[in-house]
Amino acid sequence: MQQPRIVNPRDRYQPAALVEPSPSGYVHIAAEIDPPRRPGPAGARPARSRALDALSPLTRDLAGRAETLSADLFTVAGFTPQPTPERYRDAVGRYDVIVLIKTATIADLAPVTADPSFQRLLEVLQEQAGRLTVTQARNVRRIGDVPAVGRLHLFNHFLTANDAALTVWDYLAGWYQEETGLTNSEVMAPLEPDSTPFAFINHASWNMSMVRFAALQVFRPSFRSFVIANMRANEMSSLPYLYHRYDGQDPAA
């Protein structure tokens, strides 16, 4: 196993304070329907709005299953500029719609994914998305369960072959706890790594605007000297996209 390389270590940035991973199973569906053309805040788009309207009742149906803890639909709030190494270019999507289903256990994924509402949900996305990635996953890191309502959500899709990347993530999350007041995060690792381009996916949320969140990173020199530097030193790349939970009306409209 590779050893993590922590560069520019600082006493104030310790590995994140974690709780035990949950036994839950996850289905993370990332769809590229009508994404923003450039980094920055995302406006509403007709194709995306139509897809969200079609997907919303299907996620509600799935949320009503006994095995399902939650089934949430997210629409993009904005993208950040993020250079991606050439070897990952084919894996990069500008995912403007996310569906996240969480079950009580990994074993509960099978009946949920066999549900007619789930199959119809996939059909809608296959019809309307230019790119679609479905990842069944388990929880491997947890700061706290991510609440769904009234928050800015980050889905950070990590691209790396470094098997020490999760240990590096512990330090990066420590930075976010210190600098942004992060109190929740669930890291999902694929059950079948060959089925997805993502090494793991981090889901977290904050009670703040996208502008405030971006400022907390841009105007802190340690974001580049610690967060970005450690990702580069450990050959890690990511797609850190920001979302709002869809509740029947696109917040970007």
Query: 78-121: per-residue pLDDT in tens?
Result: 887 666 667 777 767 889 999 999 999 999 999 999 999 999 99
- Of 219, 224, 177, 184, the C-alpha closest to 203 is 184
Tell me the mean pLDDT in the region 234-251: 87
State the pLDDT at residue 38: 75
Rounded distance between C-alpha atoms, residue 118 and residue 194, angstroms:
22
* Proportion of the chain above pLDDT 90, given as a percent: 79
State the pLDDT at residue 37: 77
Asked if pLDDT for residue 41 goes beyond 80, the answer is no
Tell me the mean pLDDT in the region 146-169: 93
Domains, the chain, ranges and CATH?
25-245 (3.30.70.100)
State the pLDDT at residue 102: 98
Give residue for tokens 């639909």. 73
State the pLDDT at residue 57: 97
12: pLDDT confidence band, cut at 50, 70 and 90? confident
Q: What is the mean pLDDT of the chain?
A: 92
The most distant pair of C-alpha atoms in the chain lies apart, rounded to whole Å, by 52
Query: 62-71: per-residue pLDDT in tens?
Result: 999 999 999 9
Task: Kindly compute the dihedral angle of the four CA atoms of residues 211, 201, 142, 179, in this order, to the nearest 10 degrees.
Answer: -30
Choice between 43 and 186, residue whose per-residue pLDDT is larger:
186
State the pLDDT at residue 82: 66
**Cβ proximity of 3 and 164 under 8 Å:** yes
Alpha carbon 87 to its chain centroid, in Å, reads: 21
DSSP 183-239: --EEEEEESSGGG-S-SEEEEEEESS-HHHHHHHHHT-HHIIIIIIHHHHHTT-EEE
pTM of the model: 0.94
Query: 215-225: per-residue pLDDT in tens?
Result: 999 899 999 99
Rounded distance between C-alpha atoms, residue 241 and residue 142, angstroms:
19
State the pLDDT at residue 195: 92
Rounded distance between C-alpha atoms, residue 61 and residue 69, angstroms:
12
1: pLDDT confidence band, cut at 50, 70 and 90? low
- Secondary structure of residue 12 in the 3-state scheme: coil
State the pLDDT at residue 92: 74
Choice between 70 and 249, residue whose per-residue pLDDT is larger:
70
State the pLDDT at residue 10: 80
